Amino acid sequence: MVDNDYSSVLEHIYFTFDIEDISVALSRELLEHRIASHTARSTRYNEEDSFGYYIPREIRRDKNALKAFKRAMERANDAYKQLRVLGFKREEARYVLPMALHTRYVVTMNVRSLINFFMLRLCVRAAPEMRELAKKMYKLCLDAYPTIFEHVWCRGVTLGVCPENDTRPVTCPFRDIVFNKNDTKFGVEEAVREIIHKDLRRRK
């Protein structure tokens, strides 16, 4: 089904993921995948004092940056608590909460949409938090349906050609074995255009 792109069949298989302790920033990225059902923990109805938060990898590696980051989280938490003490509702106090705030998120996708999700989010250029989540989701899918997912990874691996072209980082493990899109187009574009033009000129 996957090899021959009979992918409409895959729309009848669904996965639901109950995801804890991801950042609000990441939940916003998940919403970009619109052929899915999304439910997020409400900051309007849940108390967020003493909230947990996500620390980006690069910030964790820098002692001074980490100190500044944690201080910012503490200030946001203090401001939230103060607003609640002053009598403001949760839906009003929540506006001081940071994008790093931990949230709980439930998302349901069919397999066809998941393959597209993995092709985008398993790329080394994806945001680190998103890529780590995608890897965990992928492992669950692979265990459930190995024959479907064993040949699925980033777009370069799945499609056999990488559309990132010159933006591919040196950290890409497939850089030397998967061609760029521009590399494969070079030398064949003229022939392709000629075939298209002939097809357009052909009478019905």
Q: Which residues are catalytic?
A: 121
Q: How far apart are CA 124 and CA 53, in angstroms?
A: 23
Contact 16, 87 (CB under 8 A): no
Q: Which residue has the tokens 């357009």?
A: 200
Q: CB–CB of 178/157 below 8 Å?
A: yes
The gap from C-alpha 152 to its chain's centroid, in whole angstroms, comes to: 15
Distance CA 204, CA 201 (A): 9
Q: How far apart (Å, rounded) are the C-alpha atoms in residues 150 and 158?
A: 10
Structure-derived torsion over alpha carbons of residues 60, 79, 97, 40, reported in degrees to the nearest 10: 120
Edge-first strand listing for the sheet containing 37-40? 14-23, 102-110, 37-40
Here the tokens at position 99 are 């994008």
